Structure 1
Amino acid sequence: MTDTLPTPALDLPPGSPMWNPDFLFGAGTSAYQVEGAVSEDGRTPCIWDTFAGRPGAIRDGASAAIACDHYRRWQDDIDLLATLGFDAYRLSFAWSRLLREDGSVNPAGVAFYDRILDRLLAHGIKPFVTLYHWDLPQHLQDRGGWLNRDTAHRLADFADLASRHLGDRVHAWTTLNEPWCSAWLGHGTGLHAPGLAGEAYAVEAMHHLLLGHGLALPALRANGARQVGIVTNVTAISADTQRPADLQAVDLARACYNHWVLDPLFKGHYPEALASLWPAARPPIREGDMALIAAPMDYIGINYYFRANVRSDGEHGFADKGLDRVERTVMGWEVYPAGLRDVLIGFAGRYPNLPPVHITENGMSSDDHVIDGRVDDEQRVRYLQRHLDALGQAIRAGVDVRGYFAWSLMDNFEWTEGYAQRFGLVHVDYDTQARVPKDSALALQALLRRRRELSGARTGASRAARAPA
């Protein structure tokens, strides 16, 4: 790895809290996207294994059977994470690798994550562990999946077993990653596993997902977990025009994309606008459910990528019109850094009980190639800089943000896009499994090195000032 500073570099404004070493910089992956080894050492099938077998479900017919081969290359990948200077690593435990179909623990799965956690701690890297990153065991799907209320209780069982066997080394736990995607993309549109399509399915699945979160919280805390939260994806929303119908569309879009998850967590009820958006769908709430869902958390993880510019669909919903002549990623998502600032400030105002925030995903897909041993991803460097600037503005406005995790550590299996989208800071050659840090990774490495040097200089100066004459 070269020490040559890439151009452009990354920087933080003087006095930014992000210079403080207590502010965490990290990168993330998820088990299904990187591990491979989908049928080895006792791992059972999950819904994405099944979904990927459907003709046309995944671009180019790709599968995650090998992915980044992280199951074998985990040690090198963690060493690379350390070399880049990250404080924390966001990973997920594969439910179907840790637990057998009868609910008992799979020793090989425990041993795998044991080794990972030990390696992270040996490097001084804080593990942020997600329990559910979309990879529901297929045997639970066969019993109804998230349309079956019992699955929420099975998540609590998973949380209990995982934290009893591995929790002594986990810095922070996440119950669910992006329940909006699991509910809407998996059950509303059918674009994601398990591939169901219907508004009523989505509303029911969301409730059971959030109930699972509420049941998992006490299970984790009973085993000593001190940092427990949830991760949700959010979207900045703008109106296509100032017509009343389009302004109403903004309210509906915010209810769908953001408040559908956040209102139950911090207000104890679903947003009223959902009844207008989906008049035939009602969540299957039972007595006590909302109190469980709204139990206090230690942090909230926010995943932010883009903005939606919406207008009325002429009926009871909204349509994303998009904007012309704006910067976009290869994924087609608009690059809109100000949206990160705006949603954070908006949430802090809407939810007085909002806990400390971690930005748990932020990143972009670009058309990356290794040329003469280097990956010049200048757009990603600019993307990171502008989002860090926006994050700093939110912090200065009073939002309590404790960390920033880039998505993702390395290129990986990007769900329905297969291997066509590259979000990584590190380039992966899927034929050879060679890893090459991109310029964005080297820029972050240089920024974190400067932060450590400044912190060391301040600590040395403070000690000198306190030393007796």
Structure 2
Amino acid sequence: MTDFDSQLKTERRRALLAGAGLIGAALLPAGVKAAPATSGKFSFPRGFLWGAAVAGHQVEGQNINSDAWLLETIEPTTFAEPSGDACDHYRLFAEDIAMVAALGLNTFRFSVEWSRVEPENGMFSEAALAHYRDVLEACRKHKLTPMVSYNHFSTPRWFAALGGWEGDDAPRLFARYCAKVTEALGDLMELTTTFNEPNLAKLLFGFPGPLQQFSGNPKEKAMLARAGEVSGTGRFSAWMFGDLDKIQAGQLAAHRAAFEAIHRVKPSMKVGLTIAMADDQAAGASDDTMRRRREIAYGPWLALAESHADFVGVQCYTRARIGADAELPPPDGARLTDMRYEFYPQAIEGALRYAASRVRKPLYVTENGIATMDDRHREEYIRVAVGGVARCMRDGIDVRGYLHWSLLDNFEWNFGYGPRFGLVSVDRKTQQRTPKPSARLLGTIARQNAIAVDNR
């Protein structure tokens, strides 16, 4: 038994002896919550992961061989602006990793950029692999646990031009890439994930709601058609731009193939699956409607996690209010983030409880945060969200880490550089980093490995 497992059992026992009357929430029927515990300070188990996350294309800069780079730079495009130099993290990674450690965190989540490692089909860059080895060595130097994503949305241009995740050969190609990375870097990696929230498109667009208009619109179709022309194949499918059902089927098969390929190279590797979630709340929806919403948004991935994941990463930002037949917009007068969704830090607790009711795997919060120009709101969000994680753990749910999104104010895909999710601001002219008060707050919680919790 690891120190983490031992201390986690001790915390559960302490809650029971305190008269909380709890049983492990993961064993409760779906929708049933454990009885409330007493208020007070919650100490996280030794070995709990506290971290911040970045993604290759969003921070590295000049990722010219990726599908996203092409989509950003052609006309027409749905992107507000190109990524350009981004945060120049490809060059400044050592500084960023040292900053993570200095803040008091113990984990750094990042992605290996497929389009750098395999810029052409079957041609692997030893220089790119050496770079990511340097990143991992920097984590080791600063005693940070790396959590590595093999893919965070963007793919090589050649892959997208073959049909991307809609292509018949996608699972084999992705598994080949994952095996190559594991062979080159696996000795420095223990916690990895194949995809970053591959269900995001289904969560946003698969169930009727206010975002339906943004998927498959004429401008998006024209962008993809132009990308196909530029690529010379007449076809282009990338990320969430394409046939969402075919993309999901391709990624489900690709995850299975990659999970098995990674374990063949390194059987001890912990390979997880991150899932985008909302705290789904019925606001007029029947039980059948709620089940249908969840099946569309998460069902295939939660089912796959049971057989093909060593852990599940829960990624949650807000709640979703489900009406009789559609997701509803935020209620009138609700506080909104700069992404125009509801400020609702309590959501991570609901998402963790639902995930624990569906899968018997360790859980990590692999993304959680808000876009705001007012860092006081981010501080409030962190306090409430981490308190929710503590309540879940006090109720017996096996949560092993909290990783905030994001470390840096970075490129936010279609929205460009407008939304600010970072714990650290970045001057894009000088690339100077400045930690915000929220970064120090999260670092303080991490150093203390404890937080005051109340009952909700």
Counterpart selection for 1:115 from 109, 134, 137: 134
Counterpart selection for 1:181 from 184, 189, 200: 200
Counterparts of 1:227 and 1:148 in 2: how far apart (Å)? 27
Q: Which residue of 2 aligns with 1:288?
A: none
Residues 104, 202 of structure 1: CA spacing in aligned structure 2 closer, same or farther, 3 A cutoff?
same
Residues 207, 108 of structure 1: CA spacing in aligned structure 2 closer, same or farther, 3 A cutoff?
same
Alignment partner of 1:326 is 2:325: no
- Letter aligned with residue 243 of structure 2: Y
CA contact (8 A) 2:151 2:194 kept: yes
Identity of aligned residues (%): 30
Counterparts of 1:254 and 1:338 in 2: how far apart (Å)? 19
Alignment partner of 1:24 is 2:36: no
127-136 or 391-400, larger mean C-alpha shift = 391-400
For residue 394 of structure 1, report the CA deviation from its aligned partner: 1.2
User: In structure 2, the residue corresponding to 1:129 is in which secondary structure?
Assistant: strand
User: In structure 2, the residue corresponding to 1:445 is in which secondary structure?
Assistant: helix
Per-residue deviation, residues 87-108 of structure 1 (Å, max 9, x unmatched): 1110000001112313232022
- The within-5 A match list for 1:45-444 is 45-55=65-75, 57-58=77-78, 60=80, 62-181=81-200, 189-190=215-216, 201-224=243-266, 225-241=268-284, 244=286, 248-266=288-306, 294-295=307-308, 297-313=309-325, 318-351=326-359, 354-368=360-374, 377-444=375-442
**Count of aligned pairs between the two proteins:** 388
Give the RMSD, CA atoms, in angstroms. Answer: 2.6
CA contact (8 A) 1:307 1:339 kept: yes
- Letter aligned with residue 302 of structure 1: V
Residues 355, 47 of structure 1: CA spacing in aligned structure 2 closer, same or farther, 3 A cutoff?
same
Counterparts of 1:71 and 1:199 in 2: how far apart (Å)? 26
User: In structure 1, the residue corresponding to 2:369 is in which secondary structure?
Assistant: coil
- Letter aligned with residue 238 of structure 1: Q
Counterparts of 1:149 and 1:252 in 2: how far apart (Å)? 28
Counterparts of 2:441 and 2:387 in 1: how far apart (Å)? 15
Residues 81, 424 of structure 1: CA spacing in aligned structure 2 closer, same or farther, 3 A cutoff?
same
Residues 148, 26 of structure 1: CA spacing in aligned structure 2 closer, same or farther, 3 A cutoff?
same
User: In structure 1, the residue corresponding to 2:62 is in which secondary structure?
Assistant: coil
User: In structure 1, the residue corresponding to 2:61 is in which secondary structure?
Assistant: coil
User: In structure 2, the residue corresponding to 1:309 is in which secondary structure?
Assistant: strand
- Letter aligned with residue 386 of structure 2: L
Counterparts of 2:94 and 2:82 in 1: how far apart (Å)? 23
User: In structure 1, the residue corresponding to 2:298 is in which secondary structure?
Assistant: helix
For residue 178 of structure 1, report the CA deviation from its aligned partner: 0.8
CA contact (8 A) 2:376 2:438 kept: yes
Counterparts of 1:28 and 1:380 in 2: how far apart (Å)? 15
Q: Which residue of 2 aligns with 1:33?
A: 58
Counterparts of 1:16 and 1:350 in 2: how far apart (Å)? 25
CA contact (8 A) 2:154 2:238 kept: no
Q: Which residue of 2 aligns with 1:283?
A: none
For residue 56 of structure 1, report the CA deviation from its aligned partner: 5.9
For residue 339 of structure 1, report the CA deviation from its aligned partner: 2.6
Counterparts of 2:279 and 2:415 in 1: how far apart (Å)? 23
Gaps of 5+ in 1: 1-12, 40-44, 267-293, 369-376, 453-469
Residues 157, 217 of structure 1: CA spacing in aligned structure 2 closer, same or farther, 3 A cutoff?
same
User: In structure 2, the residue corresponding to 1:367 is in which secondary structure?
Assistant: coil
Residues 438, 186 of structure 1: CA spacing in aligned structure 2 closer, same or farther, 3 A cutoff?
same
For residue 300 of structure 1, report the CA deviation from its aligned partner: 0.6
Counterparts of 1:343 and 1:16 in 2: how far apart (Å)? 20
User: In structure 2, the residue corresponding to 1:364 is in which secondary structure?
Assistant: coil
Q: Which one has more relative contact order, counting CA pairs under 8 Å at least 6 apart?
A: 2
Counterparts of 2:239 and 2:310 in 1: how far apart (Å)? 34
- Letter aligned with residue 34 of structure 1: V
Counterparts of 1:356 and 1:378 in 2: how far apart (Å)? 31
For residue 447 of structure 1, report the CA deviation from its aligned partner: 2.5
For residue 312 of structure 1, report the CA deviation from its aligned partner: 3.5
Q: TM-score, normalised by structure 1?
A: 0.77
CA contact (8 A) 1:37 1:66 kept: yes
User: In structure 2, the residue corresponding to 1:179 is in which secondary structure?
Assistant: coil
Residues 142, 407 of structure 1: CA spacing in aligned structure 2 closer, same or farther, 3 A cutoff?
same
Q: TM-score, normalised by structure 2?
A: 0.79
- Letter aligned with residue 356 of structure 1: P
Per-residue deviation, residues 158-203 of structure 1 (Å, max 9, x unmatched): 1100000011101211011111136677999248886789999211
Counterparts of 2:145 and 2:403 in 1: how far apart (Å)? 12
